[in-house]
Structure 1
Amino acid sequence: MFTLKQMEALYWVATLGSFEAAGSYLNVTQSTISKRIGELESRFSAPLFDRSSRQSVLTSKGRDIRDIAEQMLRLNDRLTLTARTSNAPPFRFRLGVTDLVALSWLPELLATILDRYPGISLEPEIDLTAGLLERLTERKIDFVICPRVTQHPQFVNMRLGEIELVWMCSPKIYNGSEVLTKVEMLRYPLLIQSAGSMLRPILHDVIDNPRLPFGKTISCNNMAALAELAAYGLGITILPKAFFSRYVDDGRLHVMKSEFELPKLEYFITYRNDYNGAFFEEIAEISRDLCDFTKDLKKPEGEVFGN
């Protein structure tokens, strides 16, 4: 009898290009993958892999079996989601998010996933958008939440929501209600995210505007660090308003009015459509329900800051 583990081994060897990569993805040894493939091939009169190639390339018969294997794995995903029991087979879920997600609603997302799938192995990664999408393309992560989509038929993109961006600075620099003029803005350094961040291309028309020739800039790849630098009085910056509202409430940051308007920061969910599609779709729906970029920056009940 054929087994799902044999189908899974064939599918991932064919998809990732080697027995070693498939073993790493499935968290088993290379010899285990070889054994499963050997068991599968023994049932057919024709080989499933071309042994003359250095890479693990499927034969014509192998490609036919791979298509069947993919269908079987998709049906197994649907059956697992329908059952939704704690006895569902465990598997790895490699989730990539930006620091904005990690510092707000990621803990609740992970807790919800673990509650629904107790046997799952979670592997969250926090990185800049460019790094996350690169790792998604390389199949090193499976599911990404970030402010950009990748236009390729092997990926599904879902819009998650948008965030208002505002100019911010320390009240020590500016605490007025009138619109800050260009001359007044250029008196201070610009604190901005580094090139790998999606804020850079989104804000290109603002921060690279020849009408705003900042004499000095300080780049950083962490949004929370930028908020701290701005609160210290080192310059002006651009931050998500809701996420850093507590800084404003505490009097550490001030929202500046400027003639240079800022675009919205849109967030998206991106995942592969060739495996675990039903599971990823459910995680996407959970993400939509839980998405709240103000969550962890709200003052916890009963907590006294400064103690």
Structure 2
Amino acid sequence: MFSLIQLESFVAVAEELHFGAAATRLNMTQPPLSRQIQLLEKELGAQLFVRSSRKVELTAAGQTLLPSARRILDLCTKTELDVRRVSTGDAGSIVLGYTAIAGQAALPWLLRLAREHMPGVSLVLREAVSADQLEALSRGAVDLGLLRPIVSRSGVHTELVFKDRLVVALPEGHALATGGGVRLKDLEGQPLMMYSTAEARYFYDLVMRLYESAAVTPTITQLASQVPALLAFAAAGLGITLVPASAMDFAPPGVVAEELKGHAGLEDLNRADLHLAWNENGDNPAAARLRELILARLSPQGIPGEGSLPVAGD
């Protein structure tokens, strides 16, 4: 089987039609160049050049070989470039997990960032609740996740990318929909559409902590794993729910929001932040590059800086 150096030698001589010029082009001396051509001719069993003291010409066999040799060398060059681009994160694919609300609040910004700085990379999007994303990250089935920090998971690192808070979502016309905010005490006895403990544990625990902080017992009437379902319940007039403030930008008609107000320390307790998560042992260069692009746009406190992802409510 012929080698790439033999094909490179052949193409150089075929294009230059001069062994000396071809040797200079390849940064080698003429004797080893001639040797490579001889080896190629022996391998193919065909004479490729007609040589004389005054000129070099391609034979019919050489003319047949030239376009194929060029294609082979071009393919090798492209393959080398493709491999290098993948290894540096300029190409390849990234599997990105995201929650339903993150898909509307934060994901568009991230997609624009990737399109602007990594046009050669494909993104595979997978909507999933935070618990499922953590599991997928641990298994290496997802490269990056936009999730709520439900629990710490060995080998999975998270970084704050989006500050958020819970607000009270009410049916339009509800007695508490005054525009002046709602105290947690005012929620006593109100039918509450609540998060599933199995699939939305982060929000379930957060709502329970808020109620407990005001010594209010929730009256749970419905359960759902996703914010859009809870907002649909509220739009149908089935009761109230607590959802991230960012979700209200995509609430169905018939739902209004009121800020939570009350005791000292409520603002620190009422945090529904979104984190970027990744497996510390991940080996996807493209995912690592996108992660660095995202983190480079965050301030040292983890809050998005100027010109990047907006901070919900700011």
TM-score bracket, normalised by the shorter chain, equals: 0.5 to 0.7
> Out of 194, 203, 225, which is 1:199 matched to?
203
How far residue 128 of structure 1 moved from its aligned partner, in angstroms, is 0.8
Tell me which amino acid in the other structure corresponds to 2:121.
Answer: I
> Out of 166, 185, 188, which is 1:186 matched to?
188
Report the secondary structure of 2:177's partner residue. coil
With over 3 angstroms needed to count, the CA separation of the structure-2 counterparts of 1:179 and 1:146, relative to structure 1, is: closer
Q: Which residue of 2 aligns with 1:254?
A: 257
Contact 2:94–2:121 (CA under 8 A) maintained in structure 1: yes
Q: Partners of 2:250 and 2:128 in 1: how far apart?
A: 24
Cα RMSD of the aligned pairs, angstroms, is 3.5
How far residue 209 of structure 1 moved from its aligned partner, in angstroms, is 7.0
Contact 2:248–2:257 (CA under 8 A) maintained in structure 1: no
Q: Partners of 1:189 and 1:100 in 2: how far apart?
A: 23
Report the identity percentage.
19
Report the secondary structure of 1:94's partner residue. strand
Q: Which residue of 1 aligns with 2:162?
A: 161
Count of residue pairs the alignment pairs up: 211
Contact 1:230–1:253 (CA under 8 A) maintained in structure 2: no
> Out of 265, 274, 277, which is 1:270 matched to?
277
1:238 is aligned to 2:242: yes
Report the secondary structure of 2:165's partner residue. strand
Tell me which amino acid in the other structure corresponds to 1:266.
Answer: D
Q: Which residue of 2 aligns with 1:14?
A: none
Contact 1:160–1:268 (CA under 8 A) maintained in structure 2: yes
Q: Partners of 1:236 and 1:164 in 2: how far apart?
A: 16
Contact 1:243–1:293 (CA under 8 A) maintained in structure 2: no
Q: Partners of 2:291 and 2:203 in 1: how far apart?
A: 23
Larger radius of gyration: 2
Q: Partners of 1:156 and 1:293 in 2: how far apart?
A: 21
Contact 1:167–1:258 (CA under 8 A) maintained in structure 2: no
Q: Partners of 2:289 and 2:130 in 1: how far apart?
A: 22
Q: Which residue of 1 aligns with 2:88?
A: 80
Q: Partners of 2:166 and 2:181 in 1: how far apart?
A: 18
Q: Which residue of 2 aligns with 1:305?
A: none
1:104 is aligned to 2:115: no
Report the secondary structure of 2:166's partner residue. strand
Measured against aligned partners, the alpha-carbon deviations of 1:48-76 in whole angstroms (never above 9, x if no partner) come to: xxxxxxxxxxxxxxxxxxxxxxxxxxx96
> Out of 217, 229, 233, which is 1:213 matched to?
217
Normalised TM-score (structure 1): 0.57
Unaligned runs of 5+ in 1: 1-74, 295-307
Normalised TM-score (structure 2): 0.56
How far residue 181 of structure 1 moved from its aligned partner, in angstroms, is 6.7
